[in-house]
Chains A and B, each alone.
Chain A
Amino acid sequence: MKILVLVHNGPDGKIAKAALEAVGAAQSLGGEISAVNPVGDVPLHSLDVPALATAIKSSGADIVIAPGTSRFARSLPAAAFRAGAEIDTHITAVSNGPEGVTAQRWAYRQRILCTITRSARPWVLMTDCGVFAPAEEGSFTVENAAPVQATASSECLGTQAAVAGEQTIRPDAEVLFVAGAGWTKKQADGATHPGEAAALIKDFLAASGASLGSSKSLVEIGDEAKEAFGFMSHMNQVGQTGATPRHKKGLSTCCHGEEPHVVGWRFITERRAVNIDANCGWAQGKADVLYVADAFKVMSLVNGMLKP
């Protein structure tokens, strides 16, 4: 079996971590592996698609594995189409057994786990980031493919942060801290305290290094609270119409734990929640521990204890 692994460099010019994971996935299948970087520095669909399609076609590979980075997620499906290959995305496991090569992926946003196979070749498998053990440096070499001529009506203008200030989305953090709309709701004193809530959250992120997630309701809040919560955006949203981050631990605060939110927690191993409502969603087998308490008080104490 010939396996082609498609990789690209990260912004630092080195091979992206997710690409090392894709090589790791390929190595777990066995076979003859070649790793190729067919794309240049400019991440544009109209340039990447012909380069990727040429790499697939010219490799003669049976299986093509590539990391599900935003760059390949954009362009690889069209490249597979042009190369006459089949493609499946968000792959979370691969194996080579009696059924041949099989792969796992989720349907219905992490609700139903599917094990699939295909007889058509080449078969492109795009791996989810943060799932596979990365290949060891030195266990493979990357060949840079010759550039493929293509024209584009588009131009890449560079990157920009979704919100001003410090980056709160930290995929490599051990802890995910999720803030829900409860932070902006009327509290026991009959008033809202968005400024205090935002300060508590920001202090926790600074002291713990955690990544910040949010419920949909919090990123869609009204104007008054929006000002205080200007450090978060839709990009922080976890769930059905948000992200499915991978962190070892997740702490949910002031968030009800409704199903469309909790489907985004599928890959969070240890889960704890702080909510004043003992019957919230987290109590229904969705968290390991639910602390029935006021998150304002608890997080203020946590922040005090985390301070050096």
Chain B
Amino acid sequence: MKPLNIIVCGSIVPDPLQTLEPVETPQGPALKNEQMLPAVLDPWAACALYEAAHLAASTPGSQVTLVSAGPAPKLRQLMMSVAQKAPFALVAVNAPAGGFADARATAAELAKAIKAIPGLDMSNVLLFGGCSSAARDAGVTMQFLAEELGISEFFQAVDELKFSEDGSFTVLERIEGGSYLKSSCKTLPAAIGWATGSLPEPPNNPRTGMMNMPKIMAALAKAQPAAPAAGGAKYLKTEIPSSKRDTRIVKDMPEEEIAREIVQWIRG
């Protein structure tokens, strides 16, 4: 099979164990202490990166490029661990990343960065990303980006991608009610919004990290600041509705009685 050129789009999100609080800023809503919050690679984009690395490893001559838009210092911090997971080249865009950043503007910045990759043959690109980010959670950026790049084959919430020798492939997309939609596609370019996929998170490999890091540091140094986003949604309110419940903690109740209570509740 021909070598693959896989571009993975993925950015940073706050560690899901952190408590998040919205604050108002002159530029619109943001998170309290956003710069201080520990960040992780956006989980579904991380799945996309691991799938890309696996696919590249089994298709000799293939290349994986991670394109990441986020504040440069946070990207630098994140790369310390992500660089140890899989071999890839980085293209960094110094831009805001978060739940309130405009998806259209993000996609436009990513497209600009991808088009500027030297020697990139768009007709042979496999564009990967997460099906939805853990920040904006809109599930639209990959479709916007595919449009910006002129890619008309897109598959969303994908758990499996299988290539044949002739370069055609099949995908399984998550649909309603625990089912998959199976499709085939004859040629690239194509874009894939990954769900979980089937690969575990690779362990940190310091050797991979050492190989990746010089290129990554150079890419971070070159990161272009994005143009300020125009347009977008106007936020009238951001709030954390109280979800704390008055938990009744039932200790020392015989199991028989607990079971009866549960059955009554289910039937009631």
Q: Is B25 an interface residue (CB 8 A)?
A: no
Question: Across the interface, which residues of A come within 8 angstroms of B253, CB to CB?
Answer: 291, 293
Q: Is B170 an interface residue (CB 8 A)?
A: yes
**CB–CB B181/A159 < 8 A:** yes
**CB–CB B185/A162 < 8 A:** no
Give the residue of B16, B99, B265 whose beta carbon is less than 8 angstroms from that of A112: B99
Question: Across the interface, which residues of A come within 8 angstroms of B135, CB to CB?
Answer: 107-108
**CB–CB A235/B173 < 8 A:** no
Render B126-156 as a binary contact track against A, CB cut-off 8 A, 1 for contact.
0000000011111110011011000011111
The CA of A291 and the CA of B258, in the complex, are separated in Å by 7
Looking at chain B's contact residues, the main secondary structure is: mixed
**CB–CB B182/A158 < 8 A:** yes
The CA of A88 and the CA of B136, in the complex, are separated in Å by 10
**CB–CB B238/A113 < 8 A:** yes
**CB–CB A284/B138 < 8 A:** no
The CA of A113 and the CA of B20, in the complex, are separated in Å by 12
Question: Across the interface, which residues of A come within 8 angstroms of B104, CB to CB?
Answer: 81, 86
The CA of A44 and the CA of B182, in the complex, are separated in Å by 10
**CB–CB A251/B262 < 8 A:** yes
Question: Across the interface, which residues of B come within 8 angstroms of A74, CB to CB?
Answer: 143, 154-157, 173
**CB–CB B247/A111 < 8 A:** no
A248-277 with Cβ < 8 A to chain B? 249, 251, 258-260, 263, 266, 270-272, 274
Give the residue of B136, B236, B259 whose beta carbon is less than 8 angstroms from that of A301: B259
Question: Across the interface, which residues of A come within 8 angstroms of B263, CB to CB?
Answer: 302, 305-306
Q: Is B223 an interface residue (CB 8 A)?
A: no
**CB–CB A290/B248 < 8 A:** yes
Question: Across the interface, which residues of A come within 8 angstroms of B174, CB to CB?
Answer: 70, 162, 235
**CB–CB B250/A107 < 8 A:** no
Q: Is B10 an interface residue (CB 8 A)?
A: no
Kindly specify which of A32-40, A163-171, A178-186, A190-198 makes contact with the partner chain: A163-171
Kindly specify which of B48-56, B73-81, B227-235 makes contact with the partner chain: B227-235
**CB–CB A70/B44 < 8 A:** no
Render A109-132 as a binary contact track against B, CB cut-off 8 A, 1 for contact.
101111111111000000000000
Render B82-111 as a binary contact track against A, CB cut-off 8 A, 1 for contact.
000000000000000001100010000000
Chain B residue at smallest Cβ distance from A285 = B244
In the assembled complex, the CB of A130 is this many whole angstroms from the nearest CB of chain B, namely: 11
The CA of A237 and the CA of B170, in the complex, are separated in Å by 24
**CB–CB B176/A171 < 8 A:** yes
**CB–CB A73/B233 < 8 A:** no
Q: Is A297 an interface residue (CB 8 A)?
A: yes
How many chain B residues have a CB neighbour from A under 8 Å? Answer: 82
**CB–CB B177/A169 < 8 A:** yes
**CB–CB A278/B249 < 8 A:** yes
**CB–CB A302/B262 < 8 A:** yes
The CA of A251 and the CA of B176, in the complex, are separated in Å by 22
In the assembled complex, the CB of A305 is this many whole angstroms from the nearest CB of chain B, namely: 5
In the assembled complex, the CB of B203 is this many whole angstroms from the nearest CB of chain A, namely: 15
How many chain A residues have a CB neighbour from B under 8 Å? Answer: 97
**CB–CB B233/A117 < 8 A:** yes
Chain B residue at smallest Cβ distance from A258 = B17
Q: Is A155 an interface residue (CB 8 A)?
A: yes
The CA of A292 and the CA of B254, in the complex, are separated in Å by 10
A217-267 with Cβ < 8 A to chain B? 220, 233-237, 240-241, 249, 251, 258-260, 263, 266
B1-48 with Cβ < 8 A to chain A? 13-14, 16-17, 20, 22, 29, 43-44
Question: Across the interface, which residues of A come within 8 angstroms of B157, CB to CB?
Answer: 70, 73-74
Give the residue of A108, A111, A120, A270 whose beta carbon is less than 8 angstroms from that of B231: A120
**CB–CB A292/B178 < 8 A:** no
Known: A108-B137, A160-B182. Contact between A114 and B16, CB under 8 A? no
Q: Is B175 an interface residue (CB 8 A)?
A: yes
Question: Across the interface, which residues of A come within 8 angstroms of B232, CB to CB?
Answer: 118
**CB–CB B258/A115 < 8 A:** no
Q: Is A202 an interface residue (CB 8 A)?
A: no
In the assembled complex, the CB of A163 is this many whole angstroms from the nearest CB of chain B, namely: 8
Question: Across the interface, which residues of A come within 8 angstroms of B155, CB to CB?
Answer: 45, 74
Question: Across the interface, which residues of A come within 8 angstroms of B185, CB to CB?
Answer: 153-155
In the assembled complex, the CB of B170 is this many whole angstroms from the nearest CB of chain A, namely: 7
Question: Across the interface, which residues of A come within 8 angstroms of B180, CB to CB?
Answer: 159-162
11 CB-based A-B contacts, threshold 8 Å:
A45-B155, A70-B156, A74-B173, A109-B134, A113-B239, A153-B185, A156-B182, A160-B179, A286-B245, A287-B245, A293-B258
A-B pairs, top 6 by smallest CB distance, nearest first, are: A169-B178, A107-B99, A301-B259, A285-B244, A77-B143, A77-B140
Footprint of A on B, CB under 8 Å?
13-14, 16-17, 20, 22, 29, 43-44, 99-100, 104, 134-140, 143-144, 146-147, 152-157, 159, 170, 172-187, 195-196, 200, 231-241, 243-253, 255-256, 258-263, 265-266
